[in-house]
Amino acid sequence: MSQSPAPAPAPETAPRRVFVIGATGTIGRATVRALLRRGHEVVCLVRPRAGVGGALTPADSAQLLPGATLRVGDVADAASLARDGFRGERFDVLVSCLASRTGAPADAWAIDHRAHVLALDAARQAGVTQVVLLSAICVQKPLLAFQHAKLAFEQHLIESGLNYSIVRATAFFKSLSGQVERV
């Protein structure tokens, strides 16, 4: 009696060069840590004053993201994305955990839509072929400006021709994160 051979194990994913925006937020930091644990080279574009109320300096951001390469720039400025972020280098993947801070209409369209469009354009110039976008579950029934802005960029990404994953996560409340760690 013959047996069929055991299936071959899935090949390990080769380390990739990953450009991350929105890295200093709670989910962004967790994403960067996970990418680094898997052996990827991670480059993060952070603001000169990141975090709630702009309290984080670049040195503070570096402490939050050990192992990642940090570059300081403005994700809402095409020239800064190219000059300070991608720097003419090649990348495989763009990961965005970026979100507007207030959700107010002007902020939402500036960050949740326009900054993402600019980042996608810069990423394409850097050779990126895959995009992972953290969106939000609440866009399924859009009522607010930030939901419409996120949906507009999702559509732009879908039409880009790049490989993409859109993760519509449920709400993650920072106040719960301390409780989870204690448990």
**Residue 12 within a domain:** no
Q: What is the pLDDT of residues 120-175, one digit of tens each?
A: 999 999 999 999 999 988 888 999 999 999 999 999 999 999 999 999 988 655 55
What pTM was computed for the model? 0.87
Residues 6+ apart with CB under 8 A from 77: 118
**Residue 62 within a domain:** yes
**Residue 2 within a domain:** no
Q: Which residues pair with 132 in a beta bridge?
A: 95, 165
DSSP string, 136-168: -GGGGS--SHHHHHHHHHHHHHHTT-SEEEEE-
Q: Which residues pair with 45 in a beta bridge?
A: 21, 71
**Residue 178 within a domain:** no
Angle ∠(180,51,25) on CA atoms, nearest 5 = 45
Rounded CA-CA distance 168/117 in Å is: 18
**Residue 125 within a domain:** yes
**Residue 137 within a domain:** yes
One-letter amino acid at 8 equals A
Range of the domain at 82: 17-169
Element containing residue 133 per DSSP (H, E): strand 130-134
**Residue 118 within a domain:** yes
How many separate domains does the chain show? 1
Q: What is the pLDDT of residues 98-126, one digit of tens each?
A: 999 888 999 999 999 999 999 999 999 99
State yes or no: pLDDT of 178 exceeds 70.
no
Look at residue 165 in the predicted model and tell me its pLDDT.
97
CATH number assigned to the domain comprising residue 79: 3.40.50.720
